[in-house]
Structure 1
Amino acid sequence: MTTGVPATAVKAPAEFGVVSKLVAEAFGTFLLTFGALGVALFSSPSSAPIPTPFAVGLSIAVGIASVGHISGGHFNPAVTVGLAVAGRTNWRLVPGYIASQLVGGIVGTLLLWVTVRTLPSLAQSNNVQTIFTQLSNGVDDLSPSKFPMAGGLLAEVVATAAFVAIILFVTSKRAVKGMAPWAIGLGLAVLVQAIAPITNASLNPARSTATAVFADWTALGQLWIFWVAPILGGAITGLIFRGFGSPDELHSATAGGVTDLTAEATRDDSVRVSEAVEGTPVSTTAEAAEPKHVADTGADRAVTGSEPAAPEPTAGRTPDDDARDFFDKNR
Structure 2
Amino acid sequence: MKKPLAEFIGTFTLVLLGCGSAVIAGDAIGFTGISFAFGLALIGMAYSIGAVSGCHINPAVSLGAVAAGRMTIGEAIPYMIAQVAGAITGAFALWVIASGSAGFEGGMGANGWGEGYLGEYNMMSAFAFEVVATFLFMVVILGATGKGAPAAMAGLAIGLALVVIHLVGINVTGVSVNPARSIGPALFAGGSAIAQLWLFIVAPIIGAVAAGLLFKSGLLDADDA
Give the Cα–Cα distance (whole angstroms) in 1 for the partners of residues 28 and 205 of structure 2: 37
Q: TM-score of the superposition, structure 1-length normalised?
A: 0.64
Letter in 2 for 1:238: G
CA contact (8 A) 2:32 2:167 kept: no
Number of the residue aligned with 2:210: 236
CA contact (8 A) 1:142 1:219 kept: no
Letter in 2 for 1:34: L
Give the Cα–Cα distance (whole angstroms) in 2 for the partners of residues 150 and 234 of structure 1: 18
Q: Going by fraction, where is helix more abundant, 1 or 2?
A: 2
Letter in 1 for 2:96: V
From 153, 158, 161, the equivalent of 1:187 is 161
Shift of 1:49: 10
Shift of 1:46: 5.9
Give the Cα–Cα distance (whole angstroms) in 1 for the partners of residues 29 and 63 of structure 2: 38
Q: TM-score of the superposition, structure 2-length normalised?
A: 0.93
Relative to structure 1, the CA distance from residue 49 to residue 220 in structure 2 (aligned partners, 3 Å threshold; closer, same or farther) is closer
Number of the residue aligned with 1:60: 42
The answer as to 2:60 corresponding to 1:86 is no
Greater Cα shift, 189-198 or 20-29: 189-198
- Return 5+ residue gaps in structure 1 as ranges: 1-18, 250-331
Give the Cα–Cα distance (whole angstroms) in 2 for the partners of residues 77 and 204 of structure 1: 7
From 10, 13, 17, the equivalent of 1:28 is 10
CA contact (8 A) 1:156 1:233 kept: yes
| 1:252-279 per-position Cα deviation (integer Å, ceiling 9, x unaligned) | xxxxxxxxxxxxxxxxxxxxxxxxxxxx
Shift of 1:104: 0.7
Number of the residue aligned with 1:278: none
The answer as to 2:115 corresponding to 1:141 is yes
From 85, 98, 104, the equivalent of 2:80 is 98
Task: Give the 5 Å matches for 1:1-331.
Answer: 19-43=1-25, 51-122=33-104, 127-128=105-106, 131-132=107-108, 135-141=109-115, 143-244=117-218, 245-246=220-221, 248=223
CA contact (8 A) 1:33 1:105 kept: yes
Shift of 1:117: 1.9
Shift of 1:47: 8.3
Which structure's CA Rg is the greater one? 1
CA contact (8 A) 1:138 1:219 kept: yes
Give the Cα–Cα distance (whole angstroms) in 1 for the partners of residues 32 and 165 of structure 2: 17
| 1:165-210 per-position Cα deviation (integer Å, ceiling 9, x unaligned) | 0001111111113001100000111011111111111111000001
Local SS of the residue matching 1:26: helix
Local SS of the residue matching 1:118: coil
Letter in 2 for 1:158: V
